[in-house]
């Protein structure tokens, strides 16, 4: 998923990077597809109706294969094709997956109730069951097993069927490597592990990366020093109309990653005052560390592993704020970087990642490589960069509040013009909200008429943000009390800040050379304040917060136990469900009624769900018995 709205920002700021696929001609060597997005597209286009689940799943799988085949025929790659699906993810991503699947179930369940309410009552008559507590789980086997996107998780029967069918479907094509959900690692990271493992093969080849996740842009930029002709493709015809009216929505476009890198590096080097094109071309290999710096600071905008800083919001001026801070502190000093190269060091003890490359059909594509030491984080320079931001943190926070105040006023104006009754913006659930409160608080006798009303909650109800209030003294203390639920002490501050700095290091290494620790995670929903983070950045050019550990991914069945909401537990083997519910307290660990915190979010799907801790060791014990 990556950085929310990043793709929108990039194509609006750099419209010239969108180019027609026809310009590539017959010059594509490799086509590497991160295919999980294709599954979701196939699901949205396949109508279940009265079909049984087996027939429905077969139609989805066939649609996935047909879509992949269409892309292969579109680009006609001459060398290699990688078809990659997500396997088990590092623990750093599990909480995000757990929250996403819960919110997907919740919004789907609420949408069904809204549709039923609107259909039977013409969206005006009260529904007696509208205030039914969402904590009640429907255990009726005829409805609990209705198909939902939680099935698109490694280890489910559906993903196992997909593995079998896709492998067989492309077996006759000697160019194809299939990496299914049976192999550890996220799809996009397995693809770039392959590129890193075969740098000579990619140096002068043209490689097309397909995928919908925004972090693919970052990964492409991060590997230009290996593959200088790497481009990104995703279907965006409707989206393009909002970006540039001169684009032909009937044509297919790709993102020119090398051109994007040129523009970004020139701006970071203070070669011009905006991100427009200039005629002078730079030699990328001489400036690859500048590109690494860009990727590194963008982690502060949030991603699948780390939360964004409220003072640096990509939806407003977050990227501009980071880039200006960089230009003022690092970019204006030739030869100074946040990410520094150690020269031509090579990874130690290389492992064979891909076996059977000369064989026909699908081969293993496992993310089991060791991590090299080609680059390191210059913490001394990062401290200078963060100090600049920290000195402006109060002002940045207040600017963000003013923007959110304006958005809230727009929402309240919309509410007052709408005949539907909305909760008062000062309602109690704005400060301490449980999912069961959300439905019952819309009004006393009816559900919302649209799921959009749920999506707008973070802007409409902002009591937690109002409690923090950066316009009054001691707001920093209230920030931690409100969002972390702690009384901030020196030891707590160190723990949070160190965990965040670990995350910066972990994420950069994950993007650059592989997973240094499959069990590491950031343990909070929000980041520390920049002024606190500054105190714990090492005064060292090269310091490692994390040790490189041997690959230790969890099993897919353990991931399922961790990320599935209770209504989707039927996707687990029955004997595992029995043991799980005997060993765990289902009313606490697998409840469907969680607290949510949407402070500094724009949409409900971005909100943080305060879910009870699940012990991975306990889950592994249950699954191994």
Q: Is residue 339 part of a domain?
A: no
Based on the fold, state whether residues 97 and 72 are members of the same structural domain: no
Q: Is the pLDDT of residue 561 over 70?
A: yes
Q: What is the reported pLDDT for 324? A: 96
Specify whether 182 is located in the same domain as 54: yes
Does 25 reside within a domain?
yes
224 and 97, same domain (yes or no): no
Do 243 and 365 reside in the same domain of the chain?
yes
Type and span of the H or E element at 19:
strand 18-20
Q: Measured in whole angstroms, how far is the alpha carbon of residue 422 from the centre of its chain?
A: 31
> Tokens 């950045």 map to which residue?
537
Residues 535, 453 share a domain: yes
Euclidean distance between the first and final Cα of the chain, in Å? 34
**Claim to verify: residue 391 and residue 465 sit in the same structural domain:** yes
Query: Band of the pLDDT at 443, cuts 50, 70, 90?
Result: very low
pLDDT score, position 109: 82
Rounded Cα–Cα distance for residues 187 and 235 (Å): 18
Looking up tokens 């001459």, which residue turns up? 78
CA distances from 371 to 348, 349, 375, 455, 517 (A): 8, 9, 11, 41, 10
**Residue 193 above 80 pLDDT?**
yes
Both 247 and 220 in a single domain?
yes
The separation between CA 168 and the C-alpha centre of its own chain, rounded to angstroms, equals 30
Q: What is the pLDDT of residue 48?
A: 84
CA dist., res. 64 & res. 54, Å (int): 15
How does pLDDT run across 304-354, given as a tens digit for each residue? 999 999 999 988 889 999 999 999 999 998 889 999 987 533 333 333 333
Which of 192-196, 263-267, 353-357 ranks highest by mean pLDDT?
192-196
Q: Does one domain contain both 483 and 500?
A: yes
The pLDDT of residue 623 is above 50: yes
Which stretch of 137-141, 203-207, 286-290, 491-495 has the lowest confidence by average pLDDT? 137-141
**Percent of the chain scored above 70 by pLDDT?**
81
Residue 556 tokens, joined: 């897919």
pLDDT at 123: 45
| Residues 101 and 138 occupy one common structural domain | yes
The stretch 394-410 carries a mean pLDDT of: 93
156 vs 570: CA distance, rounded Å? 10
Q: What is the pLDDT of residue 402?
A: 95
Amino acid 124: pLDDT = 52
Task: Say what angle helices 556-563 and 91-121 make with each other, to 10 degrees.
Answer: 50
Inside any domain, residue 321: no
Rounded to whole angstroms, the Cα distance separating 148 from 339 reads 42
In a domain, residue 334? The reply is no
Residues 495 and 420 in one domain: yes
CA nearest 78: which of 162, 183, 201? 201
Given this model, what pLDDT does residue 231 score?
97
194-211: average pLDDT: 96
User: CATH number, domain at 71?
Assistant: 3.40.50.12390
User: Has residue 141 been placed in a domain?
Assistant: yes
Considering the domain architecture, whether residues 124 and 177 belong to the same structural domain is answered as: no
pLDDT at 21 (0 to 100) = 93
Distance CA 550, CA 518 (A): 8
Give the span between the Cα atoms of 217 and 249, in whole angstroms: 22
- Give how many domains the chain has, as a whole number: 2
User: Does residue 273 sit within a domain?
Assistant: no
> Mean pLDDT across the stretch 400-420?
80
Would 297 be classed as within a structural domain? no
Residue 34: inside a domain, yes or no?
Answer: yes
- pLDDT of 396 reads 96
Structural element, H or E, at residue 119: helix 91-121
Indicate the DSSP class of residue 280: P
Whole-number average pLDDT of the chain: 84
pLDDT at residue 240, as a whole number: 66
Q: In terms of residue numbers, what domain contains 62?
A: 6-88+154-260+353-369
Mean pLDDT over 576-592 rounds to: 84
Beta-carbon contacts of 482 under 8 Å, excluding residues fewer than 6 positions away, are 464, 467, 468, 599
On the question of pLDDT at 204 being above 80, the answer is yes
The answer to whether 77 touches 30, Cβ cutoff 8 Å, is yes
Residue 129: pLDDT over 50? no
Average pLDDT estimate for 113-142: 52
Q: pLDDT at residue 400 above 90?
A: yes
pLDDT for residue 154 is more than 90: yes
Same domain, 519 and 595: yes
35 or 371, which is more confident: 35
Tell me the pLDDT band of 503, cut-offs 50, 70 and 90.
very high
Question: Residues 594, 610: contact at Cβ < 8 Å?
Answer: yes
What is the arithmetic mean of pLDDT over 404-429?
69
Which pair of structure tokens corresponds to residue 550? 């041997």
Across 52-59, average pLDDT: 94
Cα dist. 608→244, 510, 595, 599, 604 in Å?
Answer: 33, 24, 9, 9, 9
> Which of the listed residues 326, 341, 369 is the one where a domain comes to its end?
369
Is residue 552 a contact partner of residue 389, using CB atoms and an 8 Å limit? no
């Amino acid at each position: 998923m990556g950085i929310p709205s990043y793709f929108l920002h990039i194509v609006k700021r750099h419209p010239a990077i969108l180019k027609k696929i026809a310009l590539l001609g017959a010059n594509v060597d490799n086509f590497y597809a991160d295919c999980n997005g294709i599954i979701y597209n196939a699901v949205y286009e396949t109508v279940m109706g009265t079909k049984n689940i087996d027939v429905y799943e077969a139609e989805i799988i066939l649609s996935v294969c047909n879509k992949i085949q269409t892309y292969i025929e579109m680009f006609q790659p001459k060398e290699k094709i990688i078809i990659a699906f997500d396997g088990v993810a590092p623990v750093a991503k599990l909480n995000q997956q757990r929250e996403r699947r819960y919110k997907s179930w919740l919004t789907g369940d609420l949408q069904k109730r809204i549709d039923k309410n609107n259909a039977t009552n013409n969206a005006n008559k009260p529904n007696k069951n509208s205030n039914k507590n969402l904590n009640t789980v429907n255990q009726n086997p005829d409805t609990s097993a209705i198909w939902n996107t939680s099935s698109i998780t490694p280890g489910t029967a559906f993903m196992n069927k997909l593995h079998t069918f896709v492998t067989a479907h492309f077996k006759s094509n000697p160019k194809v490597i299939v990496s299914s959900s049976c192999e550890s690692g996220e799809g996009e990271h397995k693809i770039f592990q392959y590129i890193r493992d075969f740098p000579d093969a990619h140096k002068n080849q043209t490689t097309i990366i397909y995928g919908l996740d925004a972090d693919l842009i970052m990964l492409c930029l991060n590997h230009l020093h290996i593959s200088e002709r790497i481009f990104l493709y995703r279907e965006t015809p409707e989206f393009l109309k909002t970006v540039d009216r001169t684009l032909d929505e009937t044509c297919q476009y790709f993102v020119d990653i090398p051109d994007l890198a040129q523009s970004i590096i020139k701006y970071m080097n203070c070669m011009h005052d905006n991100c427009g094109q200039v005629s002078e071309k730079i030699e990328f290999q001489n400036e690859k560390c500048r590109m690494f710096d860009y990727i590194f600071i963008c982690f502060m905008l949030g991603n699948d592993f780390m939360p964004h800083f409220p003072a640096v919001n990509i939806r407003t001026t977050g990227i501009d704020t980071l880039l200006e801070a960089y230009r003022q502190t690092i970019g204006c000093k030739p030869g100074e970087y946040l990410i520094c190269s150690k020269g031509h060091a090579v990874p130690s003890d290389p492992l064979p990642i891909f076996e059977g490359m000369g064989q026909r059909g699908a081969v293993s594509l496992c993310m089991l490589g060791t991590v090299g030491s080609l680059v390191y984080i210059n913490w001394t320079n990062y401290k200078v960069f963060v100090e600049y931001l920290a000195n402006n943190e109060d002002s940045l926070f207040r600017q963000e509040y003013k923007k959110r105040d304006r958005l809230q006023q727009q929402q309240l104006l919309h509410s007052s013009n709408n005949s539907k009754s909305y909760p008062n913006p000062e309602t109690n659930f704005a400060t301490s909200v449980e999912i069961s409160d959300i439905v019952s608080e819309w009004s006393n006798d009816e559900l919302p008429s649209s799921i959009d009303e749920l999506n707008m909650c973070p802007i409409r109800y902002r009591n937690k943000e109002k409690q923090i209030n950066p316009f009054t003294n001691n707001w920093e203390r209230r920030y931690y009390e409100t969002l972390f639920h702690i009384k901030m002490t020196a030891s707590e501050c160190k723990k949070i800040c160190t965990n965040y700095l670990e995350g910066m290091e972990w994420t950069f290494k994950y993007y650059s050379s592989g997973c240094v620790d499959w069990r590491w995670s950031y343990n909070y929903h929000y980041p520390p304040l920049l002024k606190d983070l500054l105190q714990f950045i090492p005064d060292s050019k090269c310091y490692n917060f994390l040790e490189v550990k041997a690959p230790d991914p969890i099993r897919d069945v353990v991931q399922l136990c961790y990320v599935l909401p209770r209504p989707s537990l039927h996707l687990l083997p029955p004997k595992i469900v029995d043991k799980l519910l005997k060993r765990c307290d289902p009313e606490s660990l697998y409840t469907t009624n969680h607290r949510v915190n949407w402070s500094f979010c724009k949409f409900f799907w971005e909100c943080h769900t305060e879910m009870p801790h699940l012990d991975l060791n306990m889950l592994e014990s249950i699954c191994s018995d």
